[in-house]
Structure 1
Amino acid sequence: MRVRLPIIALVVLFFYFPSLVRVSWSLFACFPVDQPGEGPYPQYLVKPGVYFTLDMSQQCWQGWHKLWALAMGIPLVVIFCLGLPAGVALLLWHNRRRTHLPAFRQHCGFLYRTFRPGCFCYEAVVASTTVCLAAISVFSTVIGPYYECVLFTVVFAAALVLQIWLRPFAFNRLHYMQLAASGCLLVTSFVTLTFFNMDRDRDTSALYKEVMGGIILAINAVFVVYCVVCVVLLAQGAVRRLLQRLLNAELAWCVRLLPRSLVTLLRLPSSRMPSDPSVPFGLYKAAAAGLADLEADVDQRHSAGKNVRQQLPPHGQQSQVRGPPKESKAGSVPGDSVTGSGRFSLSGRESWYSLDPPDSRSGPSLKGKDGPAE
């Protein structure tokens, strides 16, 4: 739990990061109302000044708003708006030589896994962009809609140029999706600027607004369709990989049902094998070797980097057999036949075996039983 708690806290923090930034900036958002000396009938002004946007009955920097802005607003801005992007950059830069380690990837992999190794700190740039966009949105009531669109256009253009220059994403599909998103936002914000009438004597044509609005709507609709197609393609790839894993799991299950005791016995050194050519022992050995190779391949594909302990002895080495020693029957000639009994361990289970002399009709016979390993 101690290991998972920081990971969960970091994931939740990034999930609510835009909302936290917006709340932090909103504690300083004020709107001027009835400024002295402005507008008609100044003699009728009752309470001119600047009022808190979230509560228009409270003047800014008066009463409880001053306490909230100083005691809670400044720490929130320092922690979330400034500290979090800088903290992410410092964390990743300090551990830049550990980004390939499984332990660090498990804790902080979501911060850099989608980016190239040379741009592993790009998440700090994304967080800084979010902080800027949230600030522009919160203070739009103060700066006005025109300058709000101008600042949005500047931020979108800077993000687009930076992405084209650095190309930070490790996957081409993510790169093109983000590129399309930034392009749509930039075009939308730029066209919106043309709707504002800077010349009060001339009004913007209604036909122009309708045509440009339709073009912007079509561009955004194409972007949405493109995102849906990309998600469907990614889902198809994920389903294909899932079906392949299920098929491999079924294949591994079938392989494990085969008699492993036969595989273990037939991998004994050749000096202990019967030398009678009439015995079809070589066929059994070839089949057992093929099954062992197939099982090893399936285990290797499912181990995902884990070291699988090889319990079967390699060819040419003595098998580690525990239990009663072999007892050859009277009159047997070494090299012609082998008899005896023993115990071997395989996959956490121990099995007793008894090998009878080969018969010309049926070949060597194996008798045994399995039991839990001691």
Structure 2
Amino acid sequence: MAVIAVFILYPGWAQAALSVFACYEIDDGQTGLYPQNQKAAWRNGYWVRDMAQQCYTGVHLRLYVPIGIASVLVLCFGPPLASFLILWKHRAELGSERVRQRYSFLFARYKPSFFWWESVLMVEELMLVAVEVFGRGLKSVTHQILVMLAAFVVVSAINITSKPNRLWVITMLEFMSMTVLSLTVSLSLFFVVDQGLSGADERSVGALILVINVALLVIFLGVLLRGTWGKLRSTASRANCIAIAALTRRSGKKCARKDHGADGKEKWYRY
């Protein structure tokens, strides 16, 4: 359970570790109407976690930067490296029951030749977290969105060209998810570039964003139901038969249910 918890908490840990180095430049002391009156003009900017603290000087440099370096090494690079080393150590026995019980969540959904891909996935998460953290330092929202889109394109290109998943449908769902996310971010540019949009246009773009996200959700639900519909129908039929049998037990009637056996042939079961 501890190993699973590490991988669940990884994005949050990475965000906390990288935020130590996230700084925001407020003034430059040279531009503006009254540059001589600008007081927040420290050349390295100000720490996003404490805007009263100048970056890379004083307490930030002496205390937080060393903590940040150690945190990045342990919390950002430690889990992907640990995942790779664990699987590499047991690469010859990934099919054994003992290894599958302990580490199957790390490699079960990948092709045998890509058993280490979970580490790559974590590095991709780290890249996206880094974009989110350091993107705050960009004054232009447009630039923040463009950097985020570039990261999405890189992640999508890596995943779709490598195709590490055992099931093709998982690869396509991941690609569709990243595509919808990229479209959502791209369409949001209409709200920030130039003078923005009129009220009617804003509603139209907002509705379009909502539609494509709802469509993706419907597709995900459809794929989920397609894989479980047979089991759900069989379970519902069994429950129905048991209920009918309980009601008709006095008359000696039995409930029959038709189902497909392991060999694919239709079989009848009585209760």
Q: Is the 8 A contact 2:165 2:171 kept in 1?
A: yes
Who is 1:280 aligned against? none
Write the distance in 2 (CA, Å) between the matches of 1:196 and 1:232: 39
Q: Is the 8 A contact 2:81 2:119 kept in 1?
A: yes
Who is 1:107 aligned against? 102
Of 142, 148, 153 in structure 2, the residue corresponding to residue 152 of structure 1 is 148
Alignment of 1:144-223 (within 5 A): 144-193=140-189, 196-197=192-193, 203=195, 205-206=197-198, 209-223=202-216
Who is 1:91 aligned against? 86
**Partner amino acid, structure 2, of 1:78:** L
Larger radius of gyration: 1
Q: Which runs of 5+ in 2 are unaligned?
A: 240-271
Who is 1:286 aligned against? none
Q: Is the 8 A contact 1:81 1:131 kept in 2?
A: yes
**Partner amino acid, structure 1, of 2:162:** L
Who is 2:220 aligned against? 227
Who is 1:37 aligned against? 30
Q: Is the 8 A contact 1:27 1:73 kept in 2?
A: yes
Write the distance in 1 (CA, Å) between the matches of 2:101 and 2:113: 20
Q: Is the 8 A contact 2:160 2:171 kept in 1?
A: no
Q: For residues 47 and 110 of structure 1, do their structure 2 counterparts lie closer, same or farther at Cα, with a shift above 3 Å needed? A: same
Who is 1:67 aligned against? 62
- TM-score of the aligned structures, taking structure 1 as reference length: 0.56
The answer as to 2:128 corresponding to 1:133 is: yes
Who is 1:118 aligned against? 113
Show CA shifts across 1:289-345 (max 9, x none).
xxxxxxxxxxxxxxxxxxxxxxxxxxxxxxxxxxxxxxxxxxxxxxxxxxxxxxxxx
**Partner amino acid, structure 1, of 2:141:** P
Q: Which runs of 5+ in 1 are unaligned?
A: 1-7, 247-374
Cα shift at 1:222: 0.5
Structure with the greater relative contact order (CA < 8 A, sep ≥ 6): 1 or 2?
A: 2
SS at match of 1:55: coil
Give aligned-pair identity as a percent: 24
Q: For residues 82 and 204 of structure 1, do their structure 2 counterparts lie closer, same or farther at Cα, with a shift above 3 Å needed? A: same
Write the distance in 1 (CA, Å) between the matches of 2:3 and 2:234: 29
Cα shift at 1:209: 4.7
- TM-score of the aligned structures, taking structure 2 as reference length: 0.75
Write the distance in 1 (CA, Å) between the matches of 2:155 and 2:134: 21
SS at match of 1:139: helix
Q: Is the 8 A contact 1:119 1:168 kept in 2?
A: yes
**Partner amino acid, structure 1, of 2:110:** F
Of 52, 58, 63 in structure 1, the residue corresponding to residue 53 of structure 2 is 58
The answer as to 2:14 corresponding to 1:21 is: yes
Q: For residues 83 and 46 of structure 1, do their structure 2 counterparts lie closer, same or farther at Cα, with a shift above 3 Å needed? A: same
Write the distance in 1 (CA, Å) between the matches of 2:90 and 2:189: 43
